[in-house]
Amino acid sequence: MAQQTIAPGHVGDPPVRRGWTLVLAGLGAFLCSLDVVVVATALPTLRTDLGANLSDLEWTINAYNLAFACLMLTGSALGDRFGRRRMYLVGLAVFSLASVACALSTSATGLIVARVVEGAGAAVVLPLTLTLISDAFPTGNRGMAIGLWGGITGLGVAAGPVLGGAIVQGVAWQWIFWINVPVGLAMIPASALLLRESRGPRPNLDLVGVMLAAAGMFALTLAPVRAPSIGWDSAEVLVSLVAGVVLVVAFLRWERRAAHPMLPLAYFRLRGFSTAGGVIFFQFLSLLGSLFMITQLFQIGLGNTPLEAGLRILVWTGMPMLVAPVAGALADRVGVRPFLLGGLLLQAAGLGWLAMVTEPGVSYARLVGPLIVAGAGIGMIFATTAGAATAAVPIDDTGVAAGANTALRELGGVFGVAILAAVFAHYGSYASPEAFVDGFKPALWVAAALAAVGIIAAVFAPARPDGVTR
């Protein structure tokens, strides 16, 4: 009797291949998320060693996020066109080589340029991690797998400040980038051997869409990066914002009539897809901006060493690693809306609580509670926004959904760092611990408010997935 052939992307790969896919894709997500935050505890050291000012410090984080946000949809489209495994290997190679360039940098400018290239590699790697996982796991286990992916992403966020602090204090700041190289280079042959190749449903690359999306995202993200140093009302910032809006509108108009659009606009009518994007945008507005400030609070405001700061922050950044897998598994049963709402509420409450109790010389014991509360909220959202966005679309477009969701995430992060840095600069300075706390408190109140605004999007999330047939 002839055997029935079943499409692996719909019922999932064999268990062994699923396991390797989760490990290799998880490692890719770990590296990408680690490098968003690993620089955070090194900021005071970079300020001294490289003579970096506040604007330079922002750029060391935002240069990575800028390229990440601008090229995320492009990375997904390249995977669909040329093969997801193949482009995953290319992304890992670019990321690893750029990490070498970061480690060899001798100036703030050189480090920033290398971080742009590193972000470009990550923009290819990260959306494909979710595509590879979604393609390998059957529908019934996909939420759990994506929840584990969220936990691994949370581990990268959790490990970043601790690992960065330990390396900066024990070795040298350059090693926060050197550690990427052997891991990335080992993953390339392993991924080539153990991952299954797949392509998306679009036979041709939407070159016009790629260029419009990249240019529009670049203009939108450049504005908040430049604003703290030249002013939000400067001609450069205003022109950049207007150009970004015009280019994004042009991209949407083009996608409406393109034969093979890189982002089908019909997906924005799916509440699971659109509300997930709104939630992750506001969550990262709050999260990366507060991370930028909190890592410096422990060192500049409270006098901790880089390692001490990383360890103290672990009660905040470690919570997603614990909460995300549980939230991802439960979301398959009860839907994502309770986790989106609860996550943003906890993040807003925790950051507001932290702003309220922080003062010069505050004891660490008073900071633990708000950090745990905010971290638990972050973990709920890490797992469920990605699941909501990808569950709303056909499985072949998982990479597109993941890319769009992650692009909005990184765009929010860029704006968040810029907004909170501007608030900090208005009310405080690096002149003394007291002056730092004077700027920190209003900045954290703004971070809490930004998370609270995201609740509006979460309210409209569907109680259940949109029900796309898999």
One-letter identity of residue 159: A
Closest CA to 276 of 385, 382, 406, 404: 385
Alpha-carbon gap, residue 321 to 385, rounded angstroms = 15
For helices 108-136 and 84-103, give the axis angle rounded to 10 degrees: 160
Which tokens in the block code for residue 434? Answer: 């007291």
Which tokens in the block code for residue 195? Answer: 């991952």
Alpha-carbon gap, residue 96 to 89, rounded angstroms = 11
In DSSP notation, 196-243 reads: PP---S-SS--HHHHHHHHHHHHHHHHHHHHHHHH-TTSHHHHHHHHH
Closest CA to 58 of 219, 243, 230: 230
206 and 129 Cβ atoms separated by less than 8 Å: no
pLDDT in tens, 202-250: 666 777 887 888 888 788 877 877 777 787 788 988 999 999 999 989 9
345: domain CATH number? 1.20.1250.20
pLDDT score at 368:
93
Could you list the residue range(s) of the whole structural domain that residue 291 is in?
Answer: 12-459
The torsion region of residue 387 among left (phi > 0), alpha (psi -120 to 50) and beta comes to alpha
Residue 129 lies in a domain: yes
Residue 2 lies in a domain: no
Residue 415 lies in a domain: yes
Which tokens in the block code for residue 452? Answer: 């609270």
Coil, helix or strand at residue 428: coil
145 and 22 Cβ atoms separated by less than 8 Å: yes
132 and 195 Cβ atoms separated by less than 8 Å: yes
Phi, psi torsion values for 426, nearest 5 degrees: -70, -40
Question: In the chain, how many domains are there?
Answer: 1
Phi, psi torsion values for 335, nearest 5 degrees: 90, 165
| pLDDT, mean over the chain | 82
Alpha-carbon gap, residue 173 to 469, rounded angstroms = 48
pLDDT score at 4:
32
The sign one gets for the Cα dihedral 445, 451, 455, 456 is positive
pLDDT score at 139:
65
Residue 363 lies in a domain: yes
163 and 176 Cβ atoms separated by less than 8 Å: yes
Burial pattern 25-38, b for ≥16 Cβ within 10 A else e, equals: bbbbbbbbbbbbbb
Residue 1 lies in a domain: no
Residue 253 lies in a domain: yes
CA distances from 263 to 73, 164, 241, 364 (A): 8, 36, 22, 46
372 and 316 Cβ atoms separated by less than 8 Å: yes
Residue 95 lies in a domain: yes
What are the residue ranges in the chain where pLDDT is below 50? 1-11, 467-470
Residue 109 lies in a domain: yes
